[in-house]
Structure 1
Amino acid sequence: MERVLNISAYLFTRIIDREQLRPVLRERAEAAGLKGTILLAEEGINLFLAGDAEAVRGFVEELRTDSRFAELTTTETWSAEQPFRKMLVKLKREIIRMDHPTIRPAEDRAPAVAPRTLKRWLDQGHDDGGRAIVLLDTRNAFEVDYGTFEGAIDWRIERFTHFPDAASAHRDALEGKTVVSFCTGGIRCEKAAIYLREEGIDALQLDGGILGYFEHVGQDHYDGECFVFDEREALAPDLTPRDGVASSDDAAPAPSTS
């Protein structure tokens, strides 16, 4: 029986007091019996938490009382066991490292396409303007190997900091098309879409990433599972975890989970 609520969430919002916020959030999470990882950077917050459903949702609701986090949205999944070993709150230079300081999603978010709209486009073979759709997987190569959208472009990058160079090298293949960048939960594809638009490519991000697509659409146009950085290892399109997963003591999400 699945009894542990797992959430993933992120929000690009300016945080100038992250050093002071870190112990506050850790104390709240530990008091609620939660485990997982919260990443804090000047550009925003990224969190992966698991525990009793009421406690998890209560933590998020309290977090939203801070105006900076009022628009935080979560993706919920369930597991039979706690998939994290610890409760960590980490300070990072970026919640997902790209090494391009001009990319500031908190100031100018890239346009997004909703999961159900993307499904409709894929069903009909083009967007609403009749343009060809290009699906671009912005995740690391080993994550893509667990599963991806049918026909998606995979540049076999080893880490997200390699994305800008790969995009520049393959720019001609994207030009003149509607590019939908996607990732696990939204962070990488949001930064990727902004970068591509700065390069003159008509790029959108998949709102909520693969997990959001699974939640609202399911398996249509997707092959395989979605890798997640915790002891569940991967989630099926019905958001159930793979069985028999083993993990190390360091099984907690890294910044590249999104």
Structure 2
Amino acid sequence: MEEQGGGGEEHGVLLYYRYVTIPDVPSMALFFRANCESLGLLGRVRISPSGVNVTVGGKMTSLKQHIAAVESYSLFEGTDFKLASCRRPSDDRVATECGFTTLSVRVVKELVTLCSHPLPRPLSISNAGEHLSAAEFHSVIQNAGTKDSKFYKGHVLLDARNIYETRIGKFQAAEVDTLDPGIRQYSDLPAWIDAHSDKLQGNCILMYCTGGIRCEMASAYLKTKGSGFENVYQLSGGIQRYLEQFPDGGFFKGKNFVFDHRISVGSSDTDVIGSCLLCGALFDDYSSRHRCHLCRMLVLVCENCQKNGSAIYICELCQTSRKGNVSTCLQENTTLLMESMPEELQEMKPESATFCGLTKYLPEPSGLCGESLDSMARQKLRILCLHGFRQNASGFKGRLGSFMKKLKHLAEFVFVDAPHGLPFIVQPHPTQLNGEGAQFPAENGAAASSSSPLAYSFQSTASRRYAWLVTKKQENLTSTEWEVANEPFDPSQYQKQTEGWEKSYNFLKKTFSQMGPFDGVMGFSQGASMAATLCARRAHDVDIDFKFAILCSGFCTPAFVFKGLIECPSLHIFGGTVSKDKQISRDASFKLANLFNPACTVVLEHNSGHIVPTEAAYISQIKNFLQRFQ
């Protein structure tokens, strides 16, 4: 893979980061570019107003000169420079993928992006978990379960890395549970933490990552979750410093994945914990650079399986993206791929094919199904949509037409009618009333007279209207007749709709069972109120399982008692202070948003009426929210 540099001069890789306020970001960027170019260093430099994150490679003498130049700035006093000697890369393909054939100096907003959407409250590095040296980290793990650990419910190790990293190496100890989130990207970590907070709360949480930077903000995020999340610690210098302190690996088993041409770094312990995607044999070498053809994530394919020829590989996350329903994914994607194969291969159609097994029969998709494969790179989110009061599934779907079109590559929306049927209401104009009765719309759109409004049955062109919550009078109503409204429209009527929650809840449990699984729930107005109760109940009911909620023009329903903060990632969309929403006030929607844990809550205010906004600025933010759950 690698060869010694020219003239036998030693080469190396340097990693470091520093969270510190940079007073003049452009000038700092110029310094790094000039210094690295003059020393012949290649790699990545990221600079933000809050600090720097650097991974560069080159001659060891040049790297040491770079360190001296950076240390001349008082801003970088105390920086942990992780310098490791290595051979110069001989595989240009690997070096190119890792960014070690050029120098990239970029100014960014964040050194690492913890969330793909803005958090309601910015995280502060000052609130990060306490740093433990490699020796201290090792000692805490070693003493877990002893009398010295009586102050905690227990100890847990939390891996802040991505699944392709944790496949080949992780901490393992008899007395400590290792929590591997199994995430595709770092920005998925907050959602995993929100969904598994019960496994973390009350424990001594020991976080670790490759070099330490990802634990900084992730540990700060953990500590925002309040009671039970006070004891959060992070491995200073990451796995790299730990392996330097414990060359035999200590409690770390396998290899440390690194983001440079070395690919991974191991200890003197040669045990392999990774396994081949296809045959399951022990294997941990990513040098072949095989990737999932859906999400492009690295996958492990052993040498024996590689000998079968080029193939299409599907990673474990894409296989299980529909919550374990592999056969459904297999059927959908196999059909696409089979149709693109030569006829002689199509005829083979091995009966025992699974995603992994099928790959042996499929050619590299060079030019085939390019657009389709790209659109499949991430499975669409399935979102259950709950309409508002006196609406129905069909009407709500029509109203969301533009909204759905703009999100068609991200999500598919499923609509259902609420279980409480409502009578048809006509609001007569004063000129329509006479001594004998009122006028009602006829099937052909003309007016039809009747001596009594109740004598007019609804026409076939009229669609039933439904509700999730009703008044006591409406709860057991089964009539499909027209009624004349006996009073003007009351915008505060939702406060009187306190009945029928249990019937609606049981209906939705059945919906999840028969039409699920769903990744999220979206509700509008009364539907948002009902969706909020699902968020509150999902931690206590295995039949209600979803990842997030989108609540539009929502409010707190009097029909349900909310206790404590709701631990569910949520996006709240409602009219702001200059909104034209005359039905649900901003204060009512804001009150609902405040029932959710602010650490995983996003609020999006708009200037329109009682609608779901579709302007580009709002859609962009909605996309950012949804993408974290893919």
Aligned to 1:94: 110
User: Aligned match of 2:35 in 28, 33, 38?
Assistant: 28
Distance 1:158 1:244 in 2: 16
Shift of 1:126: 4.1
CA distance in 1, matches of 2:212, 2:13: 16
Query: Would the alpha carbon gap of residues 32 and 75 (structure 1) be closer, same or farther in structure 2, given more than 3 Å must change?
Result: same
Counterpart residue identity of residue 122, structure 2 = T
Q: 2:130 aligns with which of 98, 102, 111?
A: 111
Q: Residue 182 of structure 1: CA displacement?
A: 0.8
Q: Paired residue for 2:171?
A: 149
Q: 2:245 aligns with which of 216, 219, 224?
A: 216
What is the rounded CA distance, in whole Å, between the counterparts of 2:145 and 2:50 in structure 1?
Answer: 34
Q: Which residue of 1 aligns with 2:186?
A: 160
Structure 1 letter corresponding to 2:103: M
Q: Secondary structure at the match of 1:71?
A: coil
**What amino acid maps onto 1:231 in structure 2?**
H
Other-structure match for 1:67 = 74
Question: What TM-score comes out, normalization by structure 1 length?
Answer: 0.86
1:221 partner letter: F
Give the direction of change, closer, same or farther, for the CA distance of 1:244–1:143 in structure 2 (3 Å limit): closer
For the pair 1:123 / 2:142, whether they are aligned, the reply is yes
- The CA distance in 2 between the partners of 1:77 and 1:53, in whole Å, is 9
State the Cα distance separating 1:104 from its structure 2 match: 2.3
> Counterpart amino acid of 2:158?
L
Letter in 1 for 2:108: K
8 Å CA contact 2:41, 2:56 repeated in 1: yes
Q: Deviations over 1:25-65 (max 9, x none)?
A: 11111111211111111121011122222211111111121
Q: Give yes or no for contact 1:147–1:223 (8 Å, CA) kept in 2.
A: yes
Return the alpha-carbon distance in structure 2 between the equivalents of residues 19 and 155 of structure 1: 37
Separation (CA, whole Å) in 2 of partners of 1:79 and 1:182: 24
Instruction: Tell me the secondary structure at the aligned position of residue 72 of structure 1.
Output: coil
In the alignment, which residue of structure 1 is the partner of 2:210?
Answer: 184
Task: Report the secondary structure of 1:37's partner residue.
Answer: strand
C-alpha distance in 1, partners of 2:56/2:260? 10
Amino acid at match of 2:166: V
How far did 1:244 drift?
9.3
1:66-125 deviations in Å (ceiling 9; x for gaps): 1211221111212111452111111111110013462121x4443111111121222233
- 47-56 or 175-184, larger mean C-alpha shift: 47-56
The 3 A distance-change label for structure 1 pair 126 and 11 is farther
Given candidates 151, 154, 160, the residue that maps to 1:138 is 160
For 2:246 and 2:33, how far apart are their aligned partners in 1?
34
2:25 is aligned with 1:9: no
Give yes or no for the alignment of 1:78 onto 2:92: no
Q: Structure 1 unaligned segments of length 5 or more: list them.
A: 248-258
The structural deviation recorded for 1:245 is 3.8
The alignment partner of 2:67 has SS state of helix
2:165 maps to amino acid: E
The aligned amino acid for 1:152 is T
Structure 1 counterpart SS, 2:84: strand
Alpha-carbon separation, structure 2, partners of 1:223 and 1:60 = 31
How far does residue 23 in structure 1 lie from its aligned partner after superposition?
A: 2.3
- Kindly, what percent of the aligned residue pairs are identical? 25
Partners of 1:7 and 1:26 in 2: CA distance: 16
1:48 is aligned, of 39, 55, 58, to 55
Contact 1:43 1:104 in 2 (8 A): no
- Please say if residues 13 and 86 of structure 2, whose CA atoms lie closer than 8 Å, have aligned partners that are also in contact: yes
Q: 5+ unaligned residues in a row in structure 2: which ranges?
A: 90-94, 269-283, 290-630
Give the conservation status (yes or no) of the 8 Å contact 1:184–1:226. yes
For the residues of structure 2 that align with 1:6 and 1:126, how far apart are their CA atoms? 38
What is the SS of the residue equivalent to 1:60? helix
Cross-structure match for 1:193: 219
Cα pair 2:44 2:55 within 8 Å, conserved: yes
Distance 1:190 1:217 in 2: 23
Note if contact 1:231-1:246 (Cα within 8 Å) is conserved in structure 2: no
Write the distance in 2 (CA, Å) between the matches of 1:244 and 1:196: 32
Partner Cα distance (1:37, 1:43) in 2: 17
* Higher mean C-alpha deviation, range 125-134 or range 32-41: 125-134
Aligned-residue CA RMSD (Å): 2.5
Asked if 1:206 is matched to 2:235, the reply is: yes
The one-letter amino acid of 1:145's match is R
**SS in structure 2 opposite 1:232?**
coil
Cα distance 1:50–1:41, how it changes in 2: closer, same or farther (>3 A)? same
Greater strand content:
1
Residues 232 and 245 in structure 1, CA contact (< 8 A), matched pair in contact too:
no
**In the aligned structure 2, how far is the partner of 1:8 from the partner of 1:47?**
6
The list of structure 1 runs, each at least 4 consecutive aligned residues, that deviate by more than 3 angstroms after superposition, is 126-131, 242-247
Match of 2:45 among 25, 33, 38: 38
State whether structure 2 residue 257 is matched by structure 1 residue 227: yes
1:152 match: secondary structure: strand
In 1, the alpha carbon distance for the partners of 2:78 and 2:285 equals 34
